[in-house]
Amino acid sequence: MPRQPRIALLGTGVVGSAFVARHQRLAQRGVALPAFELLANSRGHFDAAAAPEQALRAACDAPRDGEPHDIDIARLRRGDIVVDATASDAVAARHADWLAHGIHVVTANKLGNGADLMRAQAIARAQREGRAHYGDSATVGAGLPLLRSIRELVAGGDAIHAVEGVLSGSLAWLFDRYDGMRPFSGFVREARAAGYTEPDPRIDLSGEDVRRKLLILARAAGIALEAHEIQVDSLVPAALAAAKENDLDAALLTLDAPLRERYQEAYRDGAKLRLVGRFGAAGASVGLRALPADHPLCGGSGADNRIAIRSDRYAEQPLIIQGPGAGAEVTAAALLDDLIRIAVQL
């Protein structure tokens, strides 16, 4: 009799906690789901087989001992599913190894396919070698059908010509709210508290998060894009970039003057600020642009992403995908979608 797959959840923060809550809600509604085996965070490992919500509480309440914990997945076996809800490069570096051992990986962490090209290629190879699945829907647009659409277009014989759009949920939310009067730093704190930013919001503000998403999308389109080929214009002033974690909150104030100036300049021209990422024949870039208010990329509100995909069949009129691109609930739902897709194939 085939063994039932089990879940090892890494990361019990904003996304990991929402994942446990949604898993429990779906299970109560009778959705067939693999059960938890363990939860882990940077404080330790917690047995979750009997009572996942209790294990989550224990994980969140565990004291910080300052020591990074290695992931004990010795108890996992072929067919189990690791869910990566961390932002850890060390965890992403292990995706290929797990896949090669037949352990499926479902990830919100973009540092698998969105970091070095060699790592992304190793992940692709390991999926074939280990006959294991890699669920990465949550890594771009928090599960919007972006990666899926690109992969389906490519599978249908289309070449992807260009992708352009608002790919940062937190920056979309910030520029939707920012009025040029109240300090920008206050809105960044709010976006962080709402769970839209990365654990370190400088990853969003520097354009690095969008760079990672462009790499993931380009590679899904069959383009071997490297991080250094994307021109990224950061919004982070040098003092904020250099701030230690404890000083981060105060250092956010250095954003206020330059962003007010950018806002006022755009306002005078009747334009709106949007952080736009793109790749295509003209190259790849991430940067803040002042767009006419009726520009298609100004559509949407809140944390909405809005992306135009041009391919052979959508050469003149692009395929537009819009919807919430950040937030714990949509991201956890995307992780569970991938998990369910994998579970039904086993």
Ligand X SMILES: NC(=O)C1=CN([C@@H]2O[C@H](COP(=O)(O)OP(=O)(O)OC[C@H]3O[C@@H](n4cnc5c(N)ncnc54)[C@H](O)[C@@H]3O)[C@@H](O)[C@H]2O)C=CC1
Ligand Y SMILES: N[C@@H](CC=O)C(=O)O
Q: How far is the CB of 117 from ligand Y (least distance, A)?
A: 20
* Cα distance between residue 104 and residue 5, in whole Å: 9
13 labeled part of a ligand binding site:
yes
In the chain, the N- to C-terminal Cα span, in Å, equals: 13
Name residues contacting ligand Y, limited to 102-161 (CB under 6 A). 142
Of the candidates 94, 133, 213, 274, the residue annotated as catalytic is 213
Measured from each CB, the residue nearest to ligand Y is 170
Q: How far is the CB of 242 from ligand X (least distance, A)?
A: 21
User: Residue 208's binding partner, choosing from ligand X, ligand Y, none, with beta-carbon cut-off 5 to 8 A by kind?
Assistant: none
Write the interaction track for ligand Y spanning residues 169-208; mark x where CB under 6 A is met and - where it is not: xx-------------------------xxx-----x----
User: SS in 3 state form for 229-292?
Assistant: HEEECCCCCHHHHHCCHHHHHHHHHHHHHHHHHHHHHHHHCCEEEEEEEEEECCEEEEEEEEEE
Q: How far is the CB of 109 from ligand X (least distance, A)?
A: 4
Annotated active-site residue 213? The verdict is: yes
Check binding of 11 to ligand X (CB under 6 A): yes
Q: Candidates 136, 209, 304, 338: give the one binding ligand Y (CB under 6 A).
A: 209
* Cα distance between residue 162 and residue 227, in whole Å: 17
Name residues contacting ligand Y, limited to 42-61 (CB under 6 A). none
Q: Candidates 138, 163, 174, 240: give the one binding ligand X (CB under 6 A).
A: 138
Strand partners, 323: 305
114 labeled part of a ligand binding site:
no
Check binding of 41 to ligand X (CB under 6 A): yes
Identify residue 343 by its one-letter amino acid code.
A
User: Residue 204's binding partner, choosing from ligand X, ligand Y, none, with beta-carbon cut-off 5 to 8 A by kind?
Assistant: ligand Y
- For the sheet with 304-311, list strands across it: 230-232, 283-292, 271-280, 160-166, 304-311, 319-324
What b/e readout covers 124-156, taking b as 16+ CB neighbours within 10 angstroms?
A: eebbeebebbbbbbbbbbbbbebbebbeebeee
Tokens describing residue 180 = 């040029």
Residue 120 half-sphere exposure, CB side, CA atoms within 13 Å? 24
Chain positions contacting ligand Y, by CB under 6 A: 142, 168-170, 196-198, 204, 209, 325-326
Which amino acids are annotated catalytic? 213
Enumerate binding residues for ligand X (CB under 6 A): 10-16, 40-42, 68, 71, 85-88, 90-91, 108-110, 138, 142, 169, 195-196, 198-199, 326-327, 331
